[in-house]
Amino acid sequence: MKKIIAKEINPAYVDFSFYFEDEGLTNKGGENCAVYIVPADRRRYFGFNMDKYEYIEGQAESIIDGFYEVSNKWTKIYANYKEVMEDNGISYTSRKCHLLKKWAEYANPYDTSYIAEFLTITTGEEWAVEAFRGYSQGDYCEVVYCINHHTPERITEIGKFWLGCGTEFCIDDYYGYYVPDTIRWQEGETLRKYLADSYGCKPDELEIYLYNGEHVVTDYRIMDDEI
């Protein structure tokens, strides 16, 4: 039986940006499918889907401010909580309003855990946050995601790949088979099964070549003595 060749790419050439072109991660694949990756220092590092995430932060902050003004009768802008919600693009239900009132009493719109609560209330589906660290100081991110659309294993991949904690394989001359470093280090059947599942074949059909470094071969020629 002819084997399917899987070769690990030189780490220097791995580009995880292709992994993040998945439409599901940017919400094109369906409602609430998006994930938001928030870096530790937004001034130095770019996140993922941050334009949309910052819009949600602003929406949450407006709800907090609007609800506070209504409850303390400090403003004539809004007559009630319903107007605050609808003015910020959130459809009104009595239950949703009740939950937002409780949330707004203590929430910090610039804390990812509170944004996950906010999204849980406003979308009707449960959201959560997972944090990930890389290998260098400052390599840290938080992934905000809907648990009804993404498994813990999928979110672990997303967080690790965003921080570069993984590798890439070329299988049957096709690139883009990404493997988290924890699975790569195990080698053996764990890695074989992971690659086979990714490619869509049986594990015993794969012949796996692991990257083991590169070296330069120097060629020489004898100079001709004749001038």
Looking at residue 24, what is its pLDDT? 86
Whether 45 maps to a domain, the answer reads yes
Per the domain annotation, does 57 fall within a domain? yes
The pLDDT value recorded for residue 74 is: 65
- The answer to whether residue 5 sits within a structural domain is no
Tens-digit pLDDT string for the chain (227 aa): 788 999 999 988 998 988 998 888 888 878 888 999 998 776 566 889 999 999 999 999 999 999 998 888 766 788 899 999 999 999 999 999 999 999 999 999 999 999 999 999 999 999 999 999 988 777 899 999 999 999 999 999 999 999 999 999 999 999 999 999 989 888 788 999 999 999 999 999 999 999 988 888 889 888 887 66
pLDDT at 45: 65
Does residue 106 lie within any of the structural domains?
Answer: yes
The total domain count for the chain is 1
Cβ neighbour number for residue 166 with a 10 Å cutoff: 20
**142 assigned to some structural domain:** yes
**pLDDT recorded at residue 72:** 80
Is 78 part of a structural domain of the chain? Answer: yes
- Among positive and negative, which fits the CA dihedral 152, 21, 55, 45? positive
Q: Is residue 29 part of a domain?
A: no
Contact (CB, 8 A) for 20 and 14: no
Long-range contacts of 198-202 (CB under 8 A, 24+ apart): 198/171, 199/4, 199/6, 199/171, 199/172, 201/4
Assigned domain for 188 exists = no
DSSP run (H or E) holding 207: strand 206-209
Residue-level pLDDT at 215: 82
Tokens (6 digits) for 227: 């001038």
**Token pair 């840290």: residue:** 140
Q: 112-123 vs 50-72: helix axis angle to the nearest 10?
A: 80
Q: Which structural domain range is residue 105 located in?
A: 34-148
88 DSSP assignment: T
